[in-house]
Amino acid sequence: MLLSARQVSRSFGSFVALANASLDVGEGEIVGLIGPNGAGKSTFFNCVAGDIPPTTGRIVFSDIDVTRASAATHARLGIGRTFQVPATFEEMSILDNVMVGAFLRHHHRGEARAAAREIIEFTGLKALAESPAKSLGTPGRKRLEIARVLATEPRLLLLDEALAGLTPTEIQEAIALVRRIHAKGVTIVIVEHIMEVILTLAERVLVFNQGLTIASGKPRDVVNDPAVIEAYLGRRHARDPGAHAP
Amino acid sequence: MIFIGILVAGLFVLYPWVIADDFYGRMGADVLLAAIGASAWNILGGYAGQISVGHAVFFGVGAYLPLLAFTHLGLPPVAGVPLAVVISLGVAIVIGLPTFRLHGHYFSMATIAVAELIRIAISNWDYVGAATGLMGPAVSRTWLDLSFRSPIPYYYLFLVVLACLLLLTWHLQRSRMGYYWRAIRAGERPARSLGVPVARYKLYALLLSAAFTSLAGSLYSLMVGFIDPESGFGILRSVEMIIIAALGGAGTLFGPLLGAVILIPLQTTTNSLFGGGGSGLTYILYGGIIVILARFEPGGLLDLARRIAQWWSRRREGVAVRHAA
Amino acid sequence: MTIIQVIVGGLLLGAVYALFSSGLTLIWGMMNVINFAHGEFVMIGMYVAFLIVTYLNGGPLAFGPAAAAFLFLFGIFVYYSLIRHVMRGPMLAQILSTFGLALLLRYLAFWIFTANFKTLPQDLLPGVINVGGILIGVPQFVAGIVAIVLTMGLHLLLTRTAVGSQLLAVAEDRQAAMLMGIRPDRMQAIAWGLSGAGAGIAGALIATFYYISPTVGESLALTAFVVVALGGFGSVPGALAAGLVVGVIQSLSAYLLGPVYKDIIVYGLFVAILWVRPEGLFGKAGA
């Protein structure tokens, strides 16, 4: 088990954003997290990424307890993440952006630069390497974020709606990129709205609704699960909401 | 580009010889000294993005210790410089350690609070001169006293220190430290997600900045031979460092020097035009400049120049394309 | 008896600190912006009072509301002309904007009014009150009571009125507020107006028992910083409590250790708060 998150809960004051979510991710898997807006998947995601500490629960990565570890520690241990709203370093060039990531593993400028260039080539950003990040559109920024975090050589990559707002062509390119990253041996957890992406990419899916995980399994099975349909489309019949909790 | 650089460097080296006038020689020394302080502030405020509005606290410590060493121990003022740096680093830790874990505003508020605290304390402490201040050696007893009558030796001393500081800054900003500083300035949350130890690197920037600001203060009291709480720790001292760095271009290597070259002569002119600092017109101007910079050109003159150059080259490309068509 | 008198004096002064600090903490909580010129806003309130007394022969009932109204408009003006733009930019611009404004206002005041201290006539609020053996000057008493009332009023405005809940909504979650049809821009402008008004009245109140000078802004701003840090980021009730505490500590320090120490202790307290309990008494930790 590369990542083991057990009974992770997070409250903000009296508001329970996440309740007892658990997830095991084996090395080399691609796992999807889906659910309606406000369902808790982003909160769960941020707990795993080390951005916010869980109120209760335990998160273990590669046999190391990272429950209360800082985001920087997460990165050093090999957990990388992208942001839902791209947070690139606007005034810095694409190359410099990626170099910041590379400096985690390469302390010298020359090495970091070389590593960054490789990643830039790998992610298809070579032509724009010297341009400032702010000259990119949203798809470019998302791609840059991926390149930047890849430079930190993550073993587990957490993608936060990396494909939202892209055109169909861009989505295909992005899916191809995620596949290439996966082929290099990176384990991937992806939060996504777009069903097509989840069905294509994820081997396993965990469904969130109102802070709880309500279903998990293969994408095809989960998509046909009545509880999941109800979460997305609303209550059709009177039904015990806990019936399909894992 | 390099040719222009060498030319400018040559101008700086030859300036006192060419001008050969005490007034302008002194102004040159003032420009360089201001550039040192502003460049030191720039490491923390320009590159790492942590805005200190009380940086005079380090300057004041640096200015007082040498004159204390002279007044109470009869030592050449230079002897006080190392201890000044140590104390400045201590003050830096007291300010930075708790606040760098918090949002940036806490740090800025803390800098001004500590600067004021120390200024008031010093103003009422007789041992360090209270409100009257301290003086240095009127005449050099040995060459170590560094009390020269002409501004020229100071000019060259300051030039060497500035060159060292800029060289160090240049080296750092292209290293891992520099990239991490710029990442912190651009976005702390994404920086953290990439493994940047944000609080620690902010502290590094602060320590470096504090040490060199302290040195600037020491150089000041070496040349001027006098310090008091206002000139050492006063808000106007902090303002000067900030406005010079920001006007030229915070976060650039030569921005502070450019700012000094523009503002110090300007300050001398407005001070004599408006009859001394008493009426405060100079500071109305400074306040106005800072507000305008913040509102319209936070990148300063160098950033403005770069954008103009880009616009110009794009325009020429456009013309070339049109001619080709 | 005298210690109690010092404490009461401190509480009354502290109430005034609470009044102008509550505006500062409101803005900080809503927009994550610290107004470094806040002390100068108070100073302007003092001069408005002075001008009205000197040239229009107005009394406290005239210059109090006048200072509030003038600074309310001025706060809105500063928001629209400066703050709104720099909020979206780098930290350097945000901090320099109000810092530069402070400098500008301070030295404009020097130029217009000169450095000479001014005072309001002593007969505006004459006399001394004797409450159970404790002697309190009438101006200080009035100032303290008015300040407490107004600060609590601000708190009620925020928690009990429609405008107030809109302001708090923007502070809580800008995006959500926008989705609910609230215009954050307008709310933030109002917050700046309220903050200015609070500072203006506080200035007018202080002017009745303290000297007026262009330099008062610096120490008042720092006092406000201590109060908002102690009271907690964004908390108006916190600012009220913290203001009272700071007022008492300041007065006790001056009485027990000497007038020089009043500021030293308060600024030292600030550093101590940062080390020990940065979230203050009531606040959520600054993000």
Helix (H), strand (E), coil (C) string for chain C: CHHHHHHHHHHHHHHHHHHHHHHHHHHHHHHCCCCCCHHHHHHHHHHHHHHHHHHHCCCHHHHHHHHHHHHHHHHHHHHHHHHHHHCCCCHHHHHHHHHHHHHHHHHHHHHHHCCCCECCCCCCCCCEEEECCEEEEHHHHHHHHHHHHHHHHHHHHHHHCHHHHHHHHHHHCHHHHHHCCCCHHHHHHHHHHHHHHHHHHHHHHHHCCCCECCCHHHHHHHHHHHHHHHHCCCCHHHHHHHHHHHHHHHHHHHHHHCCCHHHHHHHHHHHHHHHHCCCCCCCCCCC
C86 interaction partners in chain B (CB closer than 8 Å): 294-295, 298
Residue type, C180: M
Rounded to 10 deg, the angle between the B2-19 and B152-173 helix axes is 160
A71 interaction partners in chain B (CB closer than 8 Å): 189, 192-193
Has residue A245 got a pLDDT over 50?
no
Preferred mutation among B47, B114, B116, B304 to probe C, highest tally of C CBs within 10 A:
B116
- Using DSSP, state whether A217 is helix, strand or coil: strand
The answer to whether A89 contacts B190, with C-beta atoms less than 8 Å apart, is: yes
What pTM was computed for the model?
Answer: 0.92
Distance from CA of B101 to the nearest CA of C (A): 10
Distance from CA of B83 to the nearest CA of A (A): 32
Kindly report the CA angle at A174 between A170 and A178, in degrees rounded to 5?
175
Question: In what helix (H) or strand (E) does residue A25 lie, and over which residues does it extend?
Answer: strand A15-25
- Using DSSP, state whether A161 is helix, strand or coil: coil
CA B282 to chain centre: 19
User: CA–CA separation, A27 vs A155, rounded Å?
Assistant: 8
Domains and CATH numbers, chain C: 2-116+130-276 (1.10.3470)
With CA atoms as reference, the chain C residue closest to B124 would be C260
Q: What local confidence, expressed as pLDDT, does residue A164 receive? A: 81
The answer to whether A80 contacts B193, with C-beta atoms less than 8 Å apart, is: yes
Q: What local confidence, expressed as pLDDT, does residue B276 receive? A: 54
Burial code (b: 16+ CB inside 10 Å, e: under 16) for B13-39 equals eebbeeeeeeebbbbbbbbbbbbbbbb
The answer to whether C264 contacts B117, with C-beta atoms less than 8 Å apart, is: yes
Give the count of Cβ contacts less than 8 A between chain A and B.
70
C115 interaction partners in chain B (CB closer than 8 Å): 278
Q: What local confidence, expressed as pLDDT, does residue A240 receive? A: 45
Percentage of chain A surpassing pLDDT 70? 94
Question: For residue B123, how many other CB atoms are within 10 A of its CB?
Answer: 18
Q: What local confidence, expressed as pLDDT, does residue C286 receive? A: 42
With CA atoms as reference, the chain B residue closest to A98 would be B194
Q: Is B180 on the interface with A (CB under 8 A)?
A: yes
Rounded to 10 deg, the angle between the B198-224 and B22-42 helix axes is 160
Distance from CA of A245 to the nearest CA of B (A): 32
Query: In chain A, which residues fall in CATH 3.40.50.300?
Result: 1-78+156-170+180-246
- Domain A1-78+156-170+180-246 architecture: 3-Layer(aba) Sandwich (3.40)
189-228 of B, contacting A, C-beta below 8 A: 189-198
Distance from CA of A90 to the nearest CA of B (A): 7
Q: What local confidence, expressed as pLDDT, does residue A241 receive? A: 44
- Using DSSP, state whether B111 is helix, strand or coil: helix
Residues paired with residue A79 on neighbouring β-strands, in sequence order: A156
The answer to whether C100 contacts B288, with C-beta atoms less than 8 Å apart, is: yes
The answer to whether B105 contacts C32, with C-beta atoms less than 8 Å apart, is: yes
User: CA–CA separation, B194 vs A34, rounded Å?
Assistant: 25
Tell me the pLDDT of chain B (325 aa) as tens digits. 788 888 888 888 888 878 778 888 899 999 999 999 999 999 999 999 999 999 999 999 999 999 999 999 989 999 999 999 999 999 999 999 999 988 878 999 999 999 999 999 999 999 999 999 999 888 888 878 888 888 889 999 999 999 999 999 999 999 999 999 999 999 999 999 999 999 999 999 999 999 999 999 999 999 999 999 999 999 999 999 999 999 999 999 999 999 999 999 998 887 777 655 555 788 899 999 999 999 999 999 999 999 899 888 888 877 766 666 5
Q: What local confidence, expressed as pLDDT, does residue A200 receive? A: 87
Q: What local confidence, expressed as pLDDT, does residue C130 receive? A: 83
User: CA–CA separation, C251 vs C11, rounded Å?
Assistant: 9
- Which residue stretches of chain C have pLDDT < 50? 285-287
Q: Residue B102 is nearest to which of C34, C105, C286, comparing CB atoms?
A: C286
Q: What local confidence, expressed as pLDDT, does residue A215 receive? A: 83
Distance from CA of B307 to the nearest CA of C (A): 17
Q: What local confidence, expressed as pLDDT, does residue A243 receive? A: 43
Q: Is B250 on the interface with A (CB under 8 A)?
A: no
156-185 of C, contacting B, C-beta below 8 A: none
The answer to whether B104 contacts C103, with C-beta atoms less than 8 Å apart, is: no
User: CA–CA separation, A18 vs A55, rounded Å?
Assistant: 9
Cβ within 8 Å of residue B98, ≥6 positions away: B110, C271, C274, C275, C278
Q: Report the mean per-residue pLDDT for chain A.
A: 88
Q: Is C94 on the interface with B (CB under 8 A)?
A: yes
B179 interaction partners in chain A (CB closer than 8 Å): 96, 99-100, 103, 112
Q: Residue B186 is nearest to which of A70, A81, A90, comparing CB atoms?
A: A90
The answer to whether B294 contacts C94, with C-beta atoms less than 8 Å apart, is: yes
| pLDDT single digits (tens) B155-172 | 999 999 999 999 999 999
Q: Residue B287 is nearest to which of C32, C34, C100, comparing CB atoms?
A: C100
Distance from CA of A212 to the nearest CA of B (A): 26
Q: What local confidence, expressed as pLDDT, does residue B250 receive? A: 95
Q: Residue C111 is nearest to which of B94, B239, B280, comparing CB atoms?
A: B280
The answer to whether B176 contacts A108, with C-beta atoms less than 8 Å apart, is: yes
Q: Is B14 on the interface with C (CB under 8 A)?
A: no
Preferred mutation among B105, B126, B230, B270 to probe C, highest tally of C CBs within 10 A:
B105
A99 interaction partners in chain B (CB closer than 8 Å): 179
Question: For residue B140, how many other CB atoms are within 10 A of its CB?
Answer: 14
